[in-house]
Structure 1
Amino acid sequence: MRLRCAVLDDFQHAATEFADWSRVADRVEVVTHPRHYDDEDALAAALADADIVVTLRERVAFPASLFARLPKLRLLVASGMRNSVIDYAAAEAHGVTVCGTASSSTPPVELTWALILGLARGLVAESNALRSGGPWQSTVGADLHGRRLGLLGLGKIGSRVARVGLAFGMEVTAWSQNLTEERAREAGVRLAASKEDLLASSDFVSVHLALSDRTRGLLGAAELALLKPTAYLVNTSRAAIVDQDALLAALHEGRIAGAGVDVFDTEPLPAGHPMRTAPRLLATPHLGYVSRANYTTYYGQAVEDIEAWLAGSPVRRLP
């Protein structure tokens, strides 16, 4: 009898398209779940017969209470090598091995610039107007060359975003709690005197910080009030870093020129969520990691993880 492997949140039916599951087909039956389960009861029911679960990024939490309801579960594979919503102690207590996969920083860098450029040149509004017979040219683009790009975070993703900004002829500054002048200089950018200085002086602000107790709610109403009325804010990192209610208020009141957001407090975003209809907002459904190359890595290495686990030698174990 084959083991059952459940693949969660496979919205695009990508799991079987981007990986060769034939390597384990004689021992594993793959069941993909293209819908998201909003609560633990529904999730536990969907996974009741699963020996193996493949979960996408950090969208689905695996707390102790869920592990307790999944007595058959023996292997959990998460895309990426860091996952803050898995209770690893509970997994170990229930005899569940947890493994990860590699993940490229290139797709979120590219999406960040898609959002910046889309905001700066009003691409959505102009495209919609052209296709619907609306006005010919209704916006005036915001220039990038000579403007200041402020980066909150200068790690693997932030530093690559910085290089693109420099190529556009932007002045790039950066800030984070641990960023040093030497590290900023190595990346070719200026270290901002403070978070407040970066926010007040930047024309575009992009968030590239990991979510932690120090960064949760880092940008609230007081911080957003520091932004210029002509400034744009982009968040492709984690929703909880920016106070969502404060951002919605700033957008509705026109206190900033606009925002580009790829991450939300609840995902998928409910149909009636105010972020779906906020003005001056370019929003995408968490596409930062969604690319052919990343999916090939995620699901290809998930198969490798399963194969290694079946052989008794798990690889890429988490945490």
Structure 2
Amino acid sequence: MKIFFTAEYDEEQLKPLYEMGEVIKDGWALGLPKMTEEELVEKTKDADMIITSYDDITRKVIESAPKLKLIACTRATPVNVDMEAAKERGIPVLYTPGRNSDSTAEMTIGLMLSIARRIPMAHCALKEGRFTGNPDARKETKDGLKVDMIWDMNMDSPYMVFKGTQLHGKTLGIVGYGSIGRRVGKIARAIGMELLIYDPFVGEVDVEEFGVRKALNLKQLMQESDFVTCHMKVTDETKGCISREMISYMKKTAYFINASRGAILDEEALIDALREKRIAGAAFDVYASEPLASNHPYVAELDNVVITPHIAGATDDVLVNHTKQIVADVRRFLNGEHLLYQYR
């Protein structure tokens, strides 16, 4: 059993796979770049299984591997696998739903806190030497008073420049209440936020509890939320659903967070809202086009955004999770058992 392996992985969790066949590591598994179609065709022609993260498993790759019996992709959606070609050959495709749900949920809360409290802005200011004091300066405490550890108090002090808003007591609108959305909601409730949910595929009975409501429609969620966070896959229904019209319903004091996919948002409309201060701010981990251009308004112009380079799922824990999932399902496949993570 030849297993061609180009996925990122956790070595400890991968060990059982070595007993199931000959594991041939290449590409990203060795820290090498994404492989070309020609390389994959040549190197997988004798493979019984292909396990990858990011390589494109095209029709040509699949049809050039006559012994291929299983394809596995260590992602929440195997967008880089030609599903139709695999289906025609009767080859199951494994994926790893939920592998990064906790990491992405935590990142979402981190983005919310960062923009609400302007943490990155304050950090950058100090690193640039702004608001810092003379190393030789010493404060004196007047007789009868205790030491008061404050920075300068004026309208240009950091206390005023970086004044933000707390999350406790605010309404968080969650668009998409699946694996990640629910985890975001759980953390937000622990902070003391109220939840307003919009998800056409989730019923009221599955949502409503103390401090949690289901919005009648997306417009209501946009109007009533202090923070809006999106957690959806890209489909015909979700593409561009956060439209210019929906953005126009947001409060002037509201913040928009996106750590799902850039395609669900009308990015130009959101940029306009930020430029014109029609919303308080936004935080992003995903974009309409990646990587961000060096002259993109988020980079070069706007000071009311927090941006990160698509790293919500970039934790060592995610590698542990998806390696466990794939190895377990490969074992089930070899034993002729029901597959838990077959993509349909």
TM-score > 0.5, shorter chain as reference: yes
Provide the C-alpha distance between the structure 2 equivalents of 1:256 and 1:271, rounded to a whole number of angstroms.
23
Query: How do residues 156-171 of structure 1 correspond to structure 2 at under 5 angstroms?
Result: 156-171=179-194
Partner of 2:111: 115
Question: Which ranges in structure 1 are unaligned for 5 or more consecutive residues?
Answer: none
Question: Is 2:205 the counterpart of 1:182?
Answer: yes
Question: Is 2:102 the counterpart of 1:130?
Answer: no
SS of the residue corresponding to residue 186 of structure 1 reads coil
TM-superposed deviation, 1:93: 2.5
- The runs of at least 4 consecutive aligned structure 1 residues that moved more than 6 Å come to 69-72, 310-314
Partner of 1:192: 215
Pick from 40, 46, 49 the counterpart of residue 47 of structure 1: 40
Give CA deviations for 1:43-81 in whole Å, capped at 9, x if unaligned: 30342313344333xx66655466456667653211256
Asked if 2 retains the 8 angstrom alpha-carbon contact of 1:5 and 1:29, the reply is yes
Alignment CA distance shift 1:192-1:98 (3 Å): closer
Provide the C-alpha distance between the structure 1 equivalents of 2:218 and 2:258, rounded to a whole number of angstroms.
16
AA in 2 matched with 1:222: E
Which segment is superposed worse, 255-264 or 272-281?
Answer: 272-281
Provide the C-alpha distance between the structure 2 equivalents of 1:304 and 1:162, rounded to a whole number of angstroms.
30
Partner of 1:203: 226
Query: How do residues 276-287 of structure 1 correspond to structure 2 at under 5 angstroms?
Result: 276-277=299-300, 279=302, 280-287=304-311
Give the structure-1-normalised TM-score: 0.80
Alignment CA distance shift 1:239-1:273 (3 Å): farther
Question: Is 2:14 the counterpart of 1:20?
Answer: yes
Give CA deviations for 1:96-143 in whole Å, capped at 9, x if unaligned: 442233534222211111111111111111111112211362311112
TM-superposed deviation, 1:296: 0.6
Give the structure-2-normalised TM-score: 0.75
Question: Which ranges in structure 2 are unaligned for 5 or more consecutive residues?
Answer: 133-157
Partner of 2:315: 291
AA in 1 matched with 2:315: S
Provide the C-alpha distance between the structure 2 equivalents of 1:289 and 1:157, rounded to a whole number of angstroms.
11
TM-superposed deviation, 1:203: 1.3
TM-superposed deviation, 1:162: 2.2
Asked if 1 retains the 8 angstrom alpha-carbon contact of 2:72 and 2:95, the reply is yes
Provide the C-alpha distance between the structure 1 equivalents of 2:318 and 2:80, rounded to a whole number of angstroms.
20
Partner of 1:239: 262
Provide the C-alpha distance between the structure 2 equivalents of 1:248 and 1:145, rounded to a whole number of angstroms.
27
Provide the C-alpha distance between the structure 2 equivalents of 1:120 and 1:248, rounded to a whole number of angstroms.
18
Provide the C-alpha distance between the structure 1 equivalents of 2:216 and 2:170, rounded to a whole number of angstroms.
18
TM-superposed deviation, 1:232: 0.8
Alignment CA distance shift 1:70-1:145 (3 Å): same
TM-superposed deviation, 1:230: 2.1
Provide the C-alpha distance between the structure 2 equivalents of 1:95 and 1:276, rounded to a whole number of angstroms.
46
Which segment is superposed worse, 239-248 or 307-316?
Answer: 307-316
Partner of 2:169: 146
Alignment CA distance shift 1:183-1:309 (3 Å): closer
Q: Share of identical aligned residues, percent?
A: 28
Provide the C-alpha distance between the structure 2 equivalents of 1:79 and 1:273, rounded to a whole number of angstroms.
33
SS of the residue corresponding to residue 47 of structure 1 reads helix
Give the RMSD, CA atoms, in angstroms.
3.2
Partner of 1:254: 277
TM-superposed deviation, 1:303: 3.8
Provide the C-alpha distance between the structure 1 equivalents of 2:318 and 2:286, rounded to a whole number of angstroms.
18
Equivalent residue pairs, number: 306
Provide the C-alpha distance between the structure 2 equivalents of 1:312 and 1:182, rounded to a whole number of angstroms.
38
AA in 1 matched with 2:18: V
Asked if 2 retains the 8 angstrom alpha-carbon contact of 1:77 and 1:305, the reply is no
SS of the residue corresponding to residue 254 of structure 1 reads coil
Provide the C-alpha distance between the structure 2 equivalents of 1:18 and 1:251, rounded to a whole number of angstroms.
46
